[in-house]
Amino acid sequence: MATTQSVTRYLSPSQVDLDKIASLCKRRGFIFQSSEIYGGLNSVWDYGPLGVELKNNVKRAWWRAMVQERDDVVGLDAAILMHPQVWHASGHVAGFADPLIDCKVCKQRFRADHLWAAFVNGVKDKDGAPVLVTGEGSTPEEAAAEMAPRAKKLLKASLTEIKPVLVKDLADRDRVPCPACGAVGSLTEPRMFNLMFKTFLGPVEDESAVIYMRPETAQGIFANFDNVLTSSRMRLPFGIAQTGKAFRNEITTGHLTFRSREFEQMELEYFVRPEEGERWLQYWLEQRRGWYLKLGLRPDSLRLRQHEKEELAHYAKDCYDVEFTFPWGWAELEGIANRGDFDLTQHARSSGKKLAYFDPSTGSGEKGEHIVPYVIEPSGGVDRATLAFLIDAYDEEPPPAGTEEARVVLRLHPALAPVKVAVLPLSRKEPLVNMARDIARELRAPSAGSGWAVAYDDAQSIGRRYRRQDEQGTPYCVTVDFQSLEDKAVTIRERDTMSQVRVPVAELAAALRERLGL
């Protein structure tokens, strides 16, 4: 849509007031809180009539770019419920359930398996009780290194004398100081935080029937790796794509739909030869960045950020985040990771099935070789992308005179806009209404534009209706006036510039197709 590219923007995403987005979303029917009539359900959200169109458009654009416009990616729709062993093999049962310890004084939170303490030889406090030092670390050595300076302050103790013990294993935590604020006896008992939702398979609530609701869609892809390989005869490199719901009992939720407990993912697992992993990671970084830009996000709103070594998940060899400048700061839209062969290896081990790609053309022998591919994973949040598109598109145009209200407009890309065209009779007189309804019907027909959502609105003044459409991001309004009855021509009014052009009704569909670029 060439006409909108030079449009003046008044707000950048970081200047947008999230409360105004939330208010608009509710007022116009994009996003509602779940179970609102019962007081709401914590961090669960519903998409209203406009929201479901927008979200479906996001998913459709992703599916087109990732699956339908490529010959090396196929789709999948795996079930939410899977064999519990999947989540043991993937590391989620171990990794997603952490005992955590809080400091009641400074409110810091620590992973119980990363929080260590050690007695400092011979040092006693005023009451004659032994004194402890604390430190964080994934290993006792790391913790000891952190404790050393603290211990030295108390005594000329050398490193070899520090023997860290996990705080959670200590009989009494009363004398353990908080490693952050130093307050003694402020640490809570370790409490289990399990991020996976549990339920029961079958009507009997027996412990042996416990299964999980998937915390990510990726494992459905890995579990079906061999099925897809043998049924679709894909050759390396190739990918399997899937969108779908995932569930996590997040400790901290919030920022509207940004972090919720039920959310939707769009994930690609792209299988490559191990030695080509880094090259394909770079390739997908550019592809995914380009996708967001093509759908209208401003380049300034996006950045790629490489994970620090310490930041990497247990499975990742390398990882980048696609980040968006949300009103509260930069935050992740999508993670793009090189997962190595972790997942296929784990599932092969756990299931006893061979999960490998057989390449007859390579290998030292004549029979070819089995390769366990590396996997590059662009894993995006549908709800996050939808929210980012909303925020990036949101604009408030100051009124020229200064007396009217600001014009609120969602400058959504036409491919994402919930409604593509609104047909508006200038007045509610019957001949105008009839003509406008006919035009709307014609524009909805497949021959006009495939799958266009077309709105018809004749309530209240024309200016009010334009603003209403602006606020929900409708790119074009078609206005039928009294002259239209005679000259069979209508006005196309553009959302971003408010400019108008008159076209014959016979050429309307073609004119809109060209402008929408769909």
Smallest distance from RNA to CB 341, Å? 18
Q: Restricting to residues 82-121, name those near RNA by CB under 7 A.
A: 102, 104, 107-109, 111
DSSP 263-285: EEEEEEEEEE-GGGHHHHHHHHH
Task: Record the tokens describing residue 137, joined without a space.
Answer: 């670390």
Name which of residues 237 to 276 contact RNA (CB under 7 A): 248, 250-256, 258-261, 263, 265
395 counts as binding RNA under rule CB under 7 A = no
Amino acid in the structure at residue 187: L
> Binding to RNA (CB under 7 A): which residues in 475-494?
479, 481-484, 491, 493
426 binds RNA (CB under 7 A): yes
Closest approach of RNA to the CB of residue 380, in Å: 5
Burial class (CB in 10 A: 0-12, 13-18, 19+), 280: buried
d(CA 273, CA 113): 35
Binding string, residues 177-216; x marks residues near RNA by CB under 7 A: ---------------------------------------x
Minimum distance, C-beta of residue 251 to RNA, in the bound complex (Å)? 4
In 3D space, the residue among 380, 383, 378 whose CA is nearest the CA of residue 73 turns out to be 378
Q: Which of 9, 15, 42, 232 binds RNA (CB under 7 A)?
A: 42
Taking the complex as a whole, how short is the minimal distance between the CB of residue 395 and RNA, in angstroms?
Answer: 12
For position 419 contacting RNA by CB under 7 A, the verdict is no
Distance spanning both ends of the chain, measured CA to CA: 9
* Closest approach of RNA to the CB of residue 75, in Å: 18
What residues numbered 323-352 form the site for RNA, per CB under 7 A?
328-329, 331-335
Does 14 sit near RNA (CB under 7 A)?
A: no
Pick the closer one to RNA by CB: 103 or 356: 103
- If the CB atoms of residues 131 and 408 are measured against RNA, the closer one turns out to be 408
Residue closer to RNA by CB (options 324, 452) is 324
**H or E stretch including 293?**
helix 277-294
State the minimum distance, in angstroms, from the CB of residue 364 to RNA.
37
Q: Which two tokens stand for residue 309?
A: 């070594």
For residue 291, CA distances in Å to 66, 252, 278, 380, 498 come to: 10, 29, 20, 12, 28
* Residue with smaller CB distance to RNA, 41 or 123: 41
> In this structure, how many other beta carbons lie within 10 angstroms of the beta carbon of residue 494?
17
Q: Which residues pair with 326 in a beta bridge?
A: 329
- Contacts with RNA in 54-83 (CB under 7 A)? none
Q: Which is nearer to RNA, 41 or 236 (CB)?
A: 41
Rounded least distance, CB 272 to RNA, Å: 19
- Report 349-388 residues binding RNA (CB under 7 A): 379-381, 383-384
Per-residue binder mask for RNA (CB under 7 A), 16-35, x = binder: --xx--xx--xx-----x--
| Least Cβ distance, residue 19 to RNA (angstroms) | 6
Q: Which is nearer to RNA, 136 or 276 (CB)?
A: 136
> Would you say 269 and 217 are in contact if contact means Cβ atoms under 8 Å apart?
no
Give the separation between CA 374 and CA 471, rounded to whole angstroms: 45
Q: What is the total count of residues that contact RNA (CB under 7 A)?
A: 78
Q: Which strands sit side by side in the sheet containing 109-111, from one edge to the other?
A: 109-111, 97-102, 191-194
Which of 305, 349, 441, 464 binds RNA (CB under 7 A)? It is 464
Residue 23 CA: distances (Å) to CA of 8, 9, 17, 377, 414: 24, 21, 10, 35, 23
Tokens of 29: 């029917």
**CB of 176 or CB of 337, closer to RNA:** 337
Question: Binding residue for RNA (CB under 7 A) from 427, 437, 505, 518?
Answer: 427
Q: Provide the minimum distance between the beta carbon of 434 and RNA in the complex, in angstroms, as a whole number.
A: 13
Instruction: Kindly state the smallest distance separating residue 338's Cβ from RNA, in Å.
Output: 13
What residues between 285 and 324 interact with RNA by CB under 7 A? Answer: 311, 313, 321
Read off the tokens for 185: 């006896």
- Out of 46, 300, 404, 514, the residue judged to bind RNA by CB under 7 A: 404
Residue 37 lies near RNA (rule: CB under 7 A):
yes
The Cα–Cα gap between 93 and 496 comes to: 50
Residue 349: Cβ within 10 Å count? 11
Which is nearer to RNA, 269 or 481 (by Cβ)?
481
Which of 113, 277, 109 has its CA nearest to residue 178? 109
Q: DSSP assignment of 316-378, as one string?
A: -SEEEEEEEEETTEEEEEEEEEE-TTHHHHHHHHHH-----EEETT-SSSTT-EEE--EEEEE
Among 407, 505, 511, 518, binds RNA (CB under 7 A): 407
CB of 359 to RNA, least distance (A): 29
Rounded Cα gap, residues 413 and 423, in angstroms: 19
Minimum distance between the CB of residue 459 and RNA, rounded to whole angstroms? 4
